[in-house]
Amino acid sequence: MMIPLRYNLRSLAVRKTTTFATAFGIALVVFVLASALMLSAGVRKTMRTSGHPDVAIVMRKGSDNELSSTVESASINVIAAAPGAKASTPDLPSSSPELVIVAAIEKLGASGVTNVQLRGVPEHGMRFRPEMRIIAGRAPAPGQDEVMIGARLRGRFRGLDLGQSFEIRKNRQARVVGVFEAGGTSHDSEVWMDLDLLRTSFSRQGYVSSVRVRLSSPAAFDAFRAAIEGEKRFGFMALREAEFYEKQSEGTSIFISAIGSIVSVFFAIGAMIGAMITMYGAVANRQREIGTLRAIGFSRRAILLSFLLESTSLALIGGAVGVAGAMAMGFVKISMMNFQSWSEMVFTFDPTPQVILTAFTFAASMGLLGGFLPAIRAARTSPVEAMRGG
Amino acid sequence: MTAAETKAETKAESKAEAAEVLISVRGVVKTYERGGETLRVLDGLDLDVKKGAFEALMGPSGSGKSTLLNLIAGLDRPTAGTITVGGKRIDELGESALAKWRGDTIGFVFQSFNLLPVLTALENVTLPLLLTRVAAKEREARATTALRIVGLEDRLHHYPRQLSGGQEQRVAIARAIVNDPALIVADEPTGDLDRKSAEDVLSLLERLNKQLGKTIVMVTHDPAAAERASIVRRLDKGQLQ
């Protein structure tokens, strides 16, 4: 039978200062880890939700993003008519040839410039993505130097707000006439404009970066892909849009997770030492209590488990504070470089159940490891010596 | 009465007498290593304690009385010799078997009460019952009864810091009897108490012995405490005098 947990919890409550200091140290570590994992999950979520299961994206074979891909305009209609592609209707166009370029724009509140992704879309580009909606202003008019911006860019860059102007490229000003929302996808961090405006501004006539094609069903992808990639004279590849965005998020997501995990592991060593010192103190201060429990008949294993439970409880208290702090980061939007597109994107922290479970497991592990040696010392305590010294 | 009948009767008498012995200590030696020197605290000691006895062990500091009590209670092991309690050789038991035996057989009363400060009186008294298969509700009922026996039924939910020294020791006695142990060992039970509280605690121990038939072995320096015992034994230099 185990020593009741309330004995450990109340003992923690008695030693308020050391309990608070140790839990705070663990909370900081868990906060760093949980924040990094939540951001990584946020990146993956943003990119994953950007893709539709029934949409395929066609790019130049060998290119790993739209920036490095070129598709000749002459191929667009052939791609749009490939087997598996859905027939166009006026309400829901079946394809969208798009040009993607990055522009260096001054970031507000920070020195220097940063890349922002510009996307040139055909007139029906918004209708191709029914989830998109304009939340302020209007859509840019074709033939005008007008753009609309994703909601997450608003107010973060010089000239990128409704009614303001910025340079698409040197001496080519464009005015922001609308702000759109794309359901938290990566498009929310893009500047959209007429395809021809972007082509002429960067002398890319005759080319687009990619062609998105709506399929008759998600299952039609294999036939579509076979048709596109089987045509050797094109040299194109077809990917499911969801798969494409998943790959786009991989580098950034892994980078954030790795940095967060490395920093957390180093911090964790400090926090574990803190927990160990606290638990050694607890064992030393409670010699008489340990001796009494042993005398009454509790086994060494019961004492070991009791002190391990105490250190784990302490770590979980810290973990809960750390996770709560990281969850509060859900209200924060963070702007960072996407290493695939080399452009700035805005992400949110996504507190998935898996991240929360990982954070608590990490906290519990710190408690278990930090408390292990002190618990062994407690279990080895001789009842006679304990009561003599205590 | 024939010689054979007389022999048979004597044998039966000595068997009955032997059956009454609860604690049997034979040739017990206990040595400690201190600063490279071997201290012989108990030196080939023999002792029998009968079931239902209330015995006091007295002697000067360092005479080995607490060491003997710890050996009888299975808290420590002899360097040589045998200790049998309730027919069981406890010097042969392994660590966890000894812990279980203590939980089943011994009730402890310490000089400094040794209550867990973060648990209430009721929770402290319940502790030994956690080592049994008794259900939670029954544990609470038994602990409440034990506290009623020591006259503290109105202090069930008080923490040790909210009790006087005498009350703390009575809670400790309740903890010692809650498991209905065969033997209660008390190490200076009145050492930290004022005269009045000491009298109350001794009266309680006396009552446990006389009314509930508990066997009690008590170490004490206090002659007034020893007077309450039915047998007083004196130890000096590791030997019973």
Which residue is closest to B132 within chain A, CA to CA? A1
Q: How many residues does chain A have?
A: 390
Do A274 and A175 sit in the same domain of this protein?
Answer: no
Cα–Cα distance measured from residue A234 to residue A237, given in angstroms and rounded to the nearest whole number: 9
Phi and psi for A227 in degrees, rounded to 5? Answer: -65, -45
Look at residue A330 and tell me if it is in a domain: yes
Q: How far is A344 from chain B (nearest CA, A)?
A: 55
Do A16 and A81 sit in the same domain of this protein?
Answer: no
Do A275 and A368 sit in the same domain of this protein?
Answer: yes
pLDDT in tens, B33-86: 888 888 899 999 999 999 999 999 999 988 899 999 999 999 999 999 999 999
Along chain A (390 residues), what's the average pLDDT of each consecutive run of 10 residues? 87 90 92 90 78 90 89 91 87 90 86 88 86 92 92 88 89 92 86 93 91 93 93 88 81 82 87 90 91 93 95 95 92 73 74 94 94 94 76
A2 contacts on B by Cβ (under 8 Å): 130
CB-CB under 8 Å, B117 with A14: yes
Structure-token pair, residue B105: 């057989």
Three-state secondary-structure class, residue A22: helix
Q: How far is A363 from chain B (nearest CA, A)?
A: 25
Q: Domain of A39?
A: 5-48+248-389
Which residue is closest to B76 within chain A, CA to CA? A384
Do A136 and A230 sit in the same domain of this protein?
Answer: yes
Average pLDDT score over residue span B3-16: 48
Look at residue A381 and tell me if it is in a domain: yes
The pLDDT, as a whole number, for residue A384 is 86
> Contact B218/B205 with Cβ under 8 angstroms?
yes
CB-CB under 8 Å, A6 with B123: yes
Residue A380 touches partner B, C-beta closer than 8 Å: no
Do A288 and A327 sit in the same domain of this protein?
Answer: yes
Q: How far is A362 from chain B (nearest CA, A)?
A: 29
Look at residue A54 and tell me if it is in a domain: no
Q: How far is B131 from chain A (nearest CA, A)?
A: 5
Look at residue A138 and tell me if it is in a domain: yes
- Which one of A292, A301, A313 makes the best mutation probe of the B interface by having the most chain B beta carbons within 10 Å? A292
Q: What percent of chain B has pLDDT over 90?
A: 79
pLDDT in tens, B150-199: 999 999 999 999 999 999 999 999 999 999 998 999 999 999 899 999 99
Name the domain boundary from A204, A234, A264. Answer: A234
Average pLDDT, chain B: 90
Look at residue A309 and tell me if it is in a domain: yes
CB-CB under 8 Å, B73 with A10: no
Which residue is closest to B187 within chain A, CA to CA? A387
The pLDDT, as a whole number, for residue B16 is 45
The pLDDT, as a whole number, for residue A343 is 66
Do A340 and A377 sit in the same domain of this protein?
Answer: yes
Do A195 and A271 sit in the same domain of this protein?
Answer: no
CATH level 3 topology of B50-78+92-234:
Rossmann fold (3.40.50)
Helices (H), chain A: 5-14, 16-48, 73-80, 125-128, 195-201, 221-230, 241-285, 287-296, 300-328, 353-380, 383-389
CB-CB under 8 Å, A294 with B130: no
Residue of A7, A297, A384 lying closest to B116 (CB–CB): A7
> Contact A119/A99 with Cβ under 8 angstroms?
yes
Do A193 and A313 sit in the same domain of this protein?
Answer: no
Which of A268, A266, A274 lies closest to A22 in space, CA to CA?
A274
Name the domain boundary from A201, A234, A267. Answer: A234
Q: CA separation (Å) from A241 to A95, A212, A244?
A: 13, 8, 5
Look at residue A168 and tell me if it is in a domain: yes
CB-CB under 8 Å, B131 with A298: yes
Residue A291 touches partner B, C-beta closer than 8 Å: yes
The pLDDT, as a whole number, for residue B127 is 95
Residue of A3, A6, A292 lying closest to B114 (CB–CB): A292
The pLDDT, as a whole number, for residue B13 is 47
Name the domain boundary from A186, A212, A234. Answer: A234
B19: pLDDT strictly greater than 50: no
Do A217 and A334 sit in the same domain of this protein?
Answer: no
Which residue is closest to B113 within chain A, CA to CA? A292
Cα–Cα distance measured from residue A362 to residue A35, given in angstroms and rounded to the nearest whole number: 13
Three-state secondary-structure class, residue A349: coil
pLDDT in tens, A125-184: 888 888 889 999 999 998 899 999 999 888 888 899 999 999 888 888 999 999 999 887
Domain parsing of chain B, residue ranges: 50-78+92-234
> Contact A319/A360 with Cβ under 8 angstroms?
yes
Do A229 and A278 sit in the same domain of this protein?
Answer: no
CB-CB under 8 Å, A300 with B118: no
Residue of A288, A296, A300 lying closest to B127 (CB–CB): A296
Q: How far is B143 from chain A (nearest CA, A)?
A: 15
| Residue pairs between chains A and B whose CB atoms are closer than 8 Å | 72
The pLDDT, as a whole number, for residue A376 is 95
B70 contacts on A by Cβ (under 8 Å): 384
| CB contact burial A9-25 (16+ within 10 A = b; e otherwise) | bbbbeebeebbeebbeb
Residue A294 touches partner B, C-beta closer than 8 Å: yes
Look at residue A213 and tell me if it is in a domain: yes
Residue of A3, A292, A384 lying closest to B70 (CB–CB): A384
Do A277 and A220 sit in the same domain of this protein?
Answer: no
Do A173 and A268 sit in the same domain of this protein?
Answer: no
The pLDDT, as a whole number, for residue A23 is 92
A383 contacts on B by Cβ (under 8 Å): 75
B100 contacts on A by Cβ (under 8 Å): 297, 299
Look at residue A240 and tell me if it is in a domain: no
A386 contacts on B by Cβ (under 8 Å): none
Strand-strand pairing, A95-106 and A210-214: antiparallel
Residue recorded with tokens 């078997």: B97
Average pLDDT score over residue span B206-222: 93
Residue A288 touches partner B, C-beta closer than 8 Å: yes
Q: What is the pTM of this model?
A: 0.75
Q: How many domains does chain A have?
A: 2
A289 contacts on B by Cβ (under 8 Å): 114, 116-117
